[in-house]
């Protein structure tokens, strides 16, 4: 019988299991870089109940000069050393060590192993929609912890949609005064104060994650119309194929899309765009600002092109790199260097790949988020109580794992792919428990696709499902309420 692989997700670039006894965590000390040491102490305490005092045994170190985010982990009975090429690499090595901890009788041990690791893609993201259902700071922090544990390094926050506006802006206070109090199905709304947003950004940075904020426009803007009706068109209800019909001037709590639009030929609209993105840029240290651009069914192609041209230029003028959903790639005037986010299917059925390639042709790159593979809001099984099914039905864990980024968009070279992002839209997601129920374990598939090499002896579905099963005890100890999908042989 073949040995069960180490429960490492994402799987490292190089793993060599060594001969010799394991390292016993009992009585071990810890020394090294403060942030990484704090993270490791927290992981070990949650998993084992053991404390790691200052002292000999485990050494955490940064030695500059290797690939960004790379690390080497060496474990033997005599000690453990993790060396990162930078602080982010060291943090990733700590997460790997946390996955290696296992029980051996009455002892907690780490097997003798040498791991040398580095990521495939620089951008490895998750998106949390806080507009359809609002999620407070504590929930966002918890999701950051979950994502960072799998070496994901970007949190995309979808901060506005038809149902609500979720960030305080002092230049446009009516947005939260008039457009933040409701959510889907009449759930309570909410918004982040500027201090709360800064807290999220800082917490993410402490886990080596970058926050990418999104204000979606020119569509998905019914909430903007509640605050500033003078810059919004009336809802175009004939484009709605399912869901509640919006009423002009009233909050929207349904889930239909495509009906709203800003007035793209009114200069007051661009004063609004400049105000909100300039203030957002000042609050956001990361390099990217997302301005949406998807599902603008109530906007003519000509008007859409006019808006995308001007809005992308506004963001570029703020010394930030714009990101837009792939529909914006159809616009010839898109600001050079804009990043495109592809949300078509893993096997495309429309013009989405052509639009995605256009970003690379204009000096940008592409983030891949194929909806039928990495949209975490899709049901994991047909009978799952939460989630949607519009992206080719339920998305099993196997389907979430069985796709290759370079095979999605024909003609898109690997160096034109910035990375992979797994969005979680929240039409059916109202709590952290709901997030866990949909994100796990499929978030682990997205993490491995983004981090690990495309091929290798352990880059197989059978290996992955076994390794994910081995993480069940760790996830349980971390308070993650994952569904025990039948696809996985869970360790108990």
Q: Which residues contact 328 (CB under 8 A, 6 or more apart)?
A: 293, 308, 312, 334, 338, 340, 355
CB 115 within 8 A of CB 97: no
Helix (H, G, I), strand (E, B) or coil at 153: coil
CB 372 within 8 A of CB 395: yes
Q: CA 98, CA 78: separation in Å to the nearest integer? A: 18
Each residue of 203-233: pLDDT tens digit? 999 999 999 999 999 999 999 999 999 999 9
**Catalytic site residue from 69, 295, 427, 458:** 295
CB 225 within 8 A of CB 175: no
176-179: long-range contacts (C-beta < 8 A, 24 or more apart)? 177/227, 178/226, 178/227, 179/223, 179/224, 179/226, 179/227, 179/251
Q: Does the pLDDT value for residue 445 go beyond 70?
A: yes
Helix (H, G, I), strand (E, B) or coil at 143: helix
Q: CA 425, CA 371: separation in Å to the nearest integer? A: 11
Helix (H, G, I), strand (E, B) or coil at 366: strand
Mean pLDDT of all residues belonging to the chain: 97
CB 152 within 8 A of CB 124: yes
CATH 3.40.50.1370 fits 14-117, yes or no: no
CB 14 within 8 A of CB 70: no
The reported pLDDT for the residue numbered 1 is 32
Q: CA 278, CA 419: separation in Å to the nearest integer? A: 26
Question: Is 295 labeled as catalytic in the residue annotation?
Answer: yes
Average pLDDT of the residues in 408-425? 97
User: Helix-strand-coil percent breakdown of the chain, rounded to 5?
Assistant: 35, 20, 45
Q: What is the pTM of this model?
A: 0.98
Query: Would you state the torsion angle of the CA atoms of residues 190, 285, 447, 395, taken in this order, to the nearest 10 degrees?
Result: 40
Each residue of 226-263: pLDDT tens digit? 999 999 999 999 999 999 999 999 999 999 999 999 99
The reported pLDDT for the residue numbered 492 is 81
Radius of gyration of the chain (CA): 23
DSSP assignment of 433-487 equals HHHHHHHTTHHHHHHHHHHS-S-STT-SHHHHHHHHHHTHHHHHHTT------TT
Each residue of 82-137: pLDDT tens digit? 999 999 999 999 999 999 999 999 999 999 999 999 999 999 999 999 999 999 99
Q: Does the fold of domain 123-451 match that of domain 14-117? A: no
Q: How buried is residue 419: exposed, middle or buried, by Cβ count under 10 Å (0-12/13-18/19+)?
A: buried
The reported pLDDT for the residue numbered 123 is 98
CB 149 within 8 A of CB 439: no
Each residue of 150-190: pLDDT tens digit? 999 999 999 999 999 999 999 999 999 999 999 999 999 99
Helix (H, G, I), strand (E, B) or coil at 113: strand
Selection from 309, 231, 234, 305 nearest residue 275 by Cα: 231
The reported pLDDT for the residue numbered 221 is 98
Each residue of 309-366: pLDDT tens digit? 999 999 999 999 999 999 999 999 999 999 999 999 999 989 999 999 999 999 999 9
| Angle at 269 (CA atoms; ends 309, 225), nearest 5 degrees | 120
Q: For residue 387, is it left (φ>0), alpha (ψ between -120 and 50) or beta? A: left
Q: What is the DSSP letter of 6?
A: P
The reported pLDDT for the residue numbered 4 is 53
Q: CA 55, CA 478: separation in Å to the nearest integer? A: 25
**How is the chain split into domains, by residue range?**
14-117, 123-451
Architecture of domain 123-451: Alpha-Beta Barrel (3.20)
Question: Largest alpha-carbon pair distance within the chain?
Answer: 73
Q: Does the pLDDT value for residue 3 go beyond 60?
A: no
Q: What is the DSSP letter of 132?
A: S
Q: CA 46, CA 476: separation in Å to the nearest integer? A: 9
Selection from 29, 18, 188 nearest residue 113 by Cα: 18
Q: CA 460, CA 402: separation in Å to the nearest integer? A: 9
Q: How buried is residue 119: exposed, middle or buried, by Cβ count under 10 Å (0-12/13-18/19+)?
A: buried
CB 368 within 8 A of CB 393: no
């Amino acid at each position: 019988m073949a040995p069960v692989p180490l429960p490492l997700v994402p799987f490292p670039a190089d793993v060599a299991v060594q001969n010799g006894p394991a390292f016993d965590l009992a009585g071990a000390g810890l020394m090294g870089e403060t942030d990484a040491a704090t993270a490791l102490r927290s992981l070990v305490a949650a998993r084992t109940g053991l404390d790691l005092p200052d002292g000999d045994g485990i050494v955490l170190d940064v030695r500059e000069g290797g690939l960004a985010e790379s690390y080497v982990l060496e474990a033997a009975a005599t000690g453990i050393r993790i060396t990162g090429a930078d602080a982010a690499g060291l943090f990733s090595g700590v997460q790997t060590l946390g996955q290696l901890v296992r029980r051996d009788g009455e002892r907690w041990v780490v097997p003798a192993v040498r791991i040398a690791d580095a990521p495939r893609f620089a951008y490895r993201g998750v998106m949390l929609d806080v507009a359809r259902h609002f999620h407070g700071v504590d929930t966002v922090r918890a999701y950051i912890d979950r994502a960072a544990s799998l070496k994901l390094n970007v949190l995309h926050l979808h901060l506005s949609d038809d149902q609500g506006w979720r960030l305080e802006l002092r230049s446009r206070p009516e947005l939260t005064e008039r457009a933040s109090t409701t959510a889907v199905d009449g759930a309570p709304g909410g918004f982040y104060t500027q201090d709360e947003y800064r807290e999220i950004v800082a917490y993410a940075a402490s886990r080596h994650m970058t926050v990418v904020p999104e204000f979606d426009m020119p569509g998905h803007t019914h909430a903007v119309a509640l605050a500033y009706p003078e810059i919004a068109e009336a809802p175009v209800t004939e484009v709605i194929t399912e869901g509640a019909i919006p009423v002009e001037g009233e909050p929207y709590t349904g889930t239909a899309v495509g009906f709203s639009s800003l007035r793209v030929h009114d200069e007051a609209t661009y004063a609004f765009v400049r105000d909100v993105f300039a203030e957002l840029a000042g609050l956001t240290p990361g390099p990217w600002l997302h301005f949406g651009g998807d599902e603008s069914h109530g906007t003519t192609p000509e008007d859409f092109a006019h808006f995308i041209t001007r809005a992308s230029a506004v963001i570029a003028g703020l010394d930030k790199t714009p990101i837009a959903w792939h529909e914006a790639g159809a616009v010839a005037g898109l600001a050079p260097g804009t990043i495109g986010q592809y949300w078509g299917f893993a096997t495309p059925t429309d013009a989405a790949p052509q639009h995605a390639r256009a970003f690379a042709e204009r000096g940008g790159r592409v983030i891949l988020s194929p909806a039928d593979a990495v949209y975490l809001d899709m049901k994991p099984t047909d009978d799952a109580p939460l989630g949607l099914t519009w992206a080719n039905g339920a998305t099993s864990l196997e389907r979430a794992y069985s796709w290759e980024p370079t095979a999605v968009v024909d003609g898109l070279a690997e160096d034109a792919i910035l990375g992979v992002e797994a969005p979680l839209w929240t039409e059916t997601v109202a709590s952290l428990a709901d997030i866990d129920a949909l994100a796990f374990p499929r978030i682990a598939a997205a993490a491995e696709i983004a981090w690990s090499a495309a091929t290798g002896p352990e880059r197989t579905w059978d290996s992955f499902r076994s390794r994910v099963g081995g993480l069940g005890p760790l996830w349980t100890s971390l308070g993650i309420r994952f569904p025990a999908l039948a696809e996985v042989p869970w360790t108990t």
